Amino acid sequence: KTLPYKKNLHMIGQSLGAAVAVDTAESINAQTIVMISPFTSIKAMATEIIGPVWSWLLLPFLQDRYPTQTTLKTLEKTQPHIKITILHGNEDKIVPVTMGRRLALDHKDWITYDEIEGAGHELNTEGLVKLTKIISKVCQTTPSKK
């Protein structure tokens, strides 16, 4: 299926939505992905929340594993033009900030990482201001369809 405006696709996803955005980027020609509070994989999140034994038992029942860390490695090779930004609150109690840091460190020359001081899983005012600036910049550089 041909997507309209397929040259001007920009995605923003938070938490699971960030994983979906990265997963979707494999099959479309995205220009920008903004990941808010991303995790490295569902398996890593399950291990973090319920421990290794329980997560091992749970994994066979998960239809999508969203291996964001692995998918980003593929995207960097196949679609290096994508501009990726990660925003992560340093007080996130749901997705550990170490996961956002890990994704950024794995791709330090490709991904822009911004850790938001005092923000949890939801962005605080500072984080929302940064997100708004990113969106404004994307809108200014994206040609409109006439």
Residues in the chain, pLDDT under 70: 1-7, 142-146
pLDDT digits (tens, 9 = 90+) for 83-116: 999 999 999 999 999 999 999 999 999 999 999 9
Instruction: Give the chain's domains with CATH numbers.
Output: 9-141 (3.40.50.1820)
Distance, in Å, from the CA atom of 102 to the CA atom of 36, rounded to the nearest integer, reads 14
pLDDT at 4: 56
pLDDT at 103: 98
Copy the structure tokens of residue 102. 């890990």
| Of 4, 36, 2, 10, the residue nearest 142 (C-alpha) | 10
pLDDT at 27: 87
| Of 116, 121, 107, the residue nearest 39 (C-alpha) | 121
pLDDT at 146: 45
pLDDT at 107: 97
pTM listed for this prediction: 0.88
